[in-house]
Amino acid sequence: MITMLETAKRLKQGLTTPDELIEAALAAARASEHVFISVIDQRAISEAKASTERWRQGATLSPFDGIPYAAKDLLDVAGSRTTAGSITRIDAPIVLEDAVVIGALASLGMIPIGKTNLTEFAYSGLGLNPHFGTPTADIQVDDARVPGGSSSGSAIAVQRGIVTSAIGTDTAGSIRIPAAFNGLVGYRASTGRYSMAGVHPLAITLDSLGPFAHTVADCVAFDAAMRGLKEAAIQSANLTGLRFVVDDGVMSDPALQPAVRQNLQSMMSLLRVIGAHVERRPVAAVTRTRELIARTGWLGAIEAWRLLGEVVEGPLGSRMDRRVRARLRSAKLIDTEAEARIRSLRLELMSAMEHELEGAILVMPTVKHVAPPMAPLENDDELFAAVNLETLSLTMIGSLLDMPGVAIPSGKDSVGLATSTLFSTTRGRDDKLLSACLAIEAALSGSERQPTA
C-alpha cells in the first residue's frame, strides 16, 4: 500500500499529479460503501487543479501539496455539513469555515476529499452506525467484522487505500481501536497539541485528535502538517537508549486473547534483542485507573451527557441509535460528588504514572481482542454493551490520564485478523513518543519475521 511520504516523492518526481490523485481518491470514495457521509467533490477538484498548476510552476506550498486526505465528520470542512454521525444533525447548516487543523492542512496544499463515517456522536468503540451504515475493511474473513470506533470511516478510508492518511478524534480510544482492528498506525495526541476549534465536542476534558496512516513515519509527517508545519522536526530515537515497561497486570488478564498477548511478546522480544531495555512489571497507576473507571464511572460519559442530554431527551432523541442513547442515559445517573472524586483522583493518578514510569514508555495491548463479528453485535444490545466496554477498557486508561498513545500493528491471529500494541507516555511528551515509535518501526521493518499467532 502506497504511503503519504511515497506519494510526496512521486509528486516531486513528476510521476503523478494532484489532479490524478484526487480523481482516483474520489472514484474510490464513491465506490466504497458507508465509508464517507459526504464526499467533497467540487472543492477537491478545484483545489487539485490549483495544486497541479503550482507543481508545474515550481511554486508548491509544501512537499504534500495536492495530496488527498479524509476527515472524520466531527471536523468542520467549509462547504459541507458536520453531522457527527447523527441523524439528528442531518439538516445541520453548511459550514462556512474550516476547523483550525483543516485550515493548517490547506495552508500546505493538502486536500480533504470527504467527511468520514463514525459512531453516532462518536460514542462507541465498535463503530456501528445504523443511520449511515457501517464501513468494513476489505479483508478475507468468513464474516464481516466491526471496524472499531468511533473513527470507523477514517480508519477504513486508509485501510482500503482511498487515502494515505485521515484524521480521527479520540476521547476513549476512537483512533487507537480502529487502528488496532484494521492493521494501521493510529496516534492519539495529548490534549492541547492541536486546536479543537471547529471540532464537534464529546467530552471536552478528554477529546483529542490524531492521524491514521500505514506507517509511523506518515503519522509523524501528518501530525506536523496538522500543525501547519512543512517538515516534521521529530527524528528517530536511538533504540538502545529506550526503556519500555510492559504492564504485567494487563498481560495477565484472562480476557486477553492469546494472539494479542503472543504477538506483543514477540514484538518486545525483538526490540530487546536489538538493544532496547524492556521490563515487565505491574504498574500500579494502571491498575488503580482501571479500578477507578469500573467503580466510579467514566468522566467522558459525564461530560457527554452534559453536552448531549437535551438531544437524548428531546423530540429527536427517539431517532438516535438506541445503543448510543442508552449509554448516554446511563451517564445521567452519575452524581456530582462522583465527578469530583474522579477529577481529583485523575490528577493524583497522572502524577503517580509519571513517578512509576520515570521516563519509560508504557506498553500494553491496544485492545484485548481482534475485531469481533459484526452481526451478533447488531442484533443483541446486551452483547454490544459488554463487548463495547471490553473493547474500550485499555485505551480508556490513557485517555483519562491524557497520555499520548500510538497503536502499532503487532501481527495477526490464526485467521488473519490484526493485533496491535499500544505505546504511551505521560502527558505532553508526544515528541518523545513519536521519536521512539519511529525507532520501533525501523526495527520491525528490518526484521523479516511478521508475528502471527
- How far is residue 400's CA from residue 396's CA, in Å, rounded to a whole number? 6
The SS3 assignment for 87 reads helix
Is residue 150 annotated as a catalytic residue, yes or no? yes
Is residue 174 annotated as a catalytic residue, yes or no? yes
- How far is residue 282's CA from residue 453's CA, in Å, rounded to a whole number? 24
Q: Grid coordinates representing 212?
A: 491514521
The SS3 assignment for 359 reads coil
Which of 38, 124, 152, 174 is catalytic? The answer is 174
The SS3 assignment for 208 reads strand
- How far is residue 408's CA from residue 423's CA, in Å, rounded to a whole number? 8
Which of 16, 129, 115 has its CA nearest to residue 67?
A: 16
Which of 32, 72, 190, 410 is catalytic? The answer is 72
Which of 448, 407, 431, 7 has its CA nearest to residue 175?
A: 407
Is residue 46 annotated as a catalytic residue, yes or no? no
- How far is residue 178's CA from residue 414's CA, in Å, rounded to a whole number? 20
Which of 86, 124, 150, 266 is catalytic? The answer is 150
Which of 80, 82, 221, 98 has its CA nearest to residue 164?
A: 221
Phi and psi at 424, nearest 5°, equal -135, 155
Residues labelled catalytic: 72, 150, 174
